[in-house]
Homo-oligomer: A and B are copies of this chain.
Amino acid sequence: MRAHDHRDLLFQLWEVAGLESRLAGTDLDRAAVEGILDTADRIAAEHFLPHGRLVDEAEPRFEGGRAVLPDVVKAAVDAHAGAGFIAAGFDPAHGGMGLPETVHMAASFIFAAANVSLSGYAMLTVGAGRLIQSFGSAEQKRRYLEPMAAGRVFGTMCLSEPQAGSSLSDITTRAEPMADGRYAIRGRKMWISGGDHELSENIVHMVLAKIPGGPPGVKGISLFIVPKLREDGARNDVTLAGLNHKMGYRGTTNCALNFGEAGGSIGELLGEAHKGLSYMFQMMNEARIGVGTGATALGQAGYQASLAYARERPQGRAPGAKDPAAPQVPIIDHADVRRLLLAQKAAVEPALALALHCASLVDRQRQGDAPAGVLLDLLTPIAKSWPSEFCLEANKHAIQVLGGAGYTRDYPVERYYRDNRLNPIHEGTHGIQGLDLLGRKVLIDGGAGVRALMAAIRADIDAAGVTPLAAPLEATLVRLERVTAHLAAQVAKDPERGLANATLYLDFFGHLVMGWMWLRSCAAATRVAARDGDSDFLRGKHQAARYFMTRELSRTEGWAEILMQNDPSAFEMDTRWF
């Protein structure tokens, strides 16, 4: 039993992302990678997929200051870590497996599709551990990183506070220097995923706090390692103040944490003082891509579930069929059901292609390819936001395919929809991704990143030759360039006005990128058909791309018009007029 399409994942890895060419110089070959993914597939099927309903219905309980989860959660994270899937995210120098990020991402996708909220602990642990890997001292790596890579200790990111959700410049958590060079941490953190549980021996919190006397705002933020338990096993005065009761995503605890209420929370500075936010961006960026991958995995799980249902459920007959005694047809025979399925496929598959493309940019960046890093930075808000919006929409369609059944908890699709609704919110809301893209990423180095990306897309369009997608994609690209130049000039003149429609710009940019992913997928399908012969699977790629082009890419025409006039309707709405 699977929640993802393994055949598509392999096609995307080998044929679209071209992973094989990047295995040269590693000790991996195709068979080894597929073996790793088979292991992920097996553990996901055994420990993740069967517990979706249970971890949703038995949400974490706050008991005696502890967060209590069903036992199956511990068994699942142990099986996952035990098979090396946390180590897979780290350097061999620190107990990691040194796996290409592309392979790590593919495995993460399998687990997220099987049970997204159980896969959250590993994502946070890898992100937190990599902060120590990048910025920690040798001693910190020994003490914290190695047990994290071994899966014995989990990590978190502690940014938000009750009065400062998205506005990190307003955090008030303090870090007072102590005589021994460590810091006394005091403050309240909010929305901490994995903030408490008893799944691991210890929890290492990566905490943003301000050292008194530092610069105001974000320039005065430093980053601290604050473990739940000290080295001697004693509590470090990090207390669970409460659990958030969420609409979905319930296998991951979400906590309010108090640091140092009794004056005894001790932290260690990571790297240099006052550079905490810039360090934390490494984890935030990884988490953003992780969120997008999770959203994609949920989209795919819903697509697979609704596809299976549509093939089996008989209901009704073709419009115009007159004989009520004829047997009912499976609902996939109805055009509108195929539309609901195709819309899901058209959203989920390019979103996975982008996640793997981002992972391959990480791999190239690690090998010293600086331009890959520029593209990765630019694509990160897209990789986070597009699946969060459009694979959520896909989950809405999955429910619709099942009808009333889809609205009940007897089927997983309503849960996927609830789980996925988190993704446009956490790790920077959809709106904040828009500000990041148009207010920052697009402007850096005079637009060098956008130019590089457009050149990459153009190169793929040229290589594809005459295909149904090439011309509309080229037209979309030209439209985006025009809109970008227009809005960038406005942002320079008047940021508030210029950024008023940044969210729509984000969606527009995302549609172009997804169109590009479809172009690459179709080019791969054409190559494979020429090599191995055509197949239903390959034909489906072309047809879904056609759907995306007709129904989605076409929307960018209207969006461009709205953006070229920088629609003032919301900007000029006086707050008293509501």
Contact = CB atoms under 8 A, between A and B. Distances in A.
Interface string A432-449: 001100010000000000
> 8 shortest A-B CB distances, which residue pairs?
A217-B324, A540-B577, A320-B495, A339-B570, A547-B569, A335-B500, A336-B431, A167-B316
A403 B550 contact: no
Given A216-B324, A421-B399, A429-B403, A496 B550 contact: no
Contact of A577 (B314, B324, B334, B539): B539
B336 A570 contact: yes
Interface in A456-502: 494-496, 499-502
A543 interface: yes
A537 interface: yes
Contacts of A400: 424-425, 429-431
Nearest to A429: B403
Interface in A320-337: 320, 324-325, 328, 332-337
A424 B400 CA distance: 8
A567 interface: yes
B540 A333 contact: no
Interface string A228-244: 00000000000000001
Interface string A560-578: 0110010101111111111
Given A332-B575, A425-B406, A439 B570 contact: no
B319 A245 contact: no
Contacts of A414: 247, 421
Contact of A334 (B315, B421, B431): B431
A143 interface: no
B569 A558 contact: no
Name the interface size band of chain A. Answer: 35 or more
Given A551-B562, A557-B558, A496 B319 contact: yes
Nearest to A191: B404
A567 B539 contact: no
Given A190-B404, A247-B417, A400-B431, 7 more contacts: A247-B418, A336-B434, A336-B500, A342-B570, A547-B570, A551-B569, A558-B558
A170 B328 contact: yes
Contacts of A546: 569
Given A536-B574, A567-B550, A439 B543 contact: no
A164, A334, A501: most-surrounded residue (chain B CB, <10 A)? A334
A289 interface: no
Given A216-B324, A399-B421, A551-B569, A318 B496 contact: yes
A426 interface: yes
B562 A335 contact: no
A408 B319 contact: no
Given A245-B410, A403-B425, A573-B342, A336 B561 contact: no
Interface string A161-182: 0011111011000000000000
Contact of A246 (B244, B407, B435, B567): B407
A409 interface: yes
Interface string A137-167: 0000000000000000000000010011111
Contact of A307 (B314, B325, B333, B578): B578
A166, A324, A345: most-surrounded residue (chain B CB, <10 A)? A324
A254 to B, nearest CB: 8
29 contacts: A163-B328, A167-B317, A170-B324, A170-B328, A216-B325, A244-B404, A244-B407, A244-B408, A246-B409, A311-B575, A335-B500, A335-B570, A338-B571, A342-B569, A345-B578, A400-B429, A406-B425, A536-B576, A537-B577, A543-B572, A543-B573, A546-B569, A547-B569, A547-B570, A550-B562, A551-B567, A554-B558, A554-B561, A555-B555
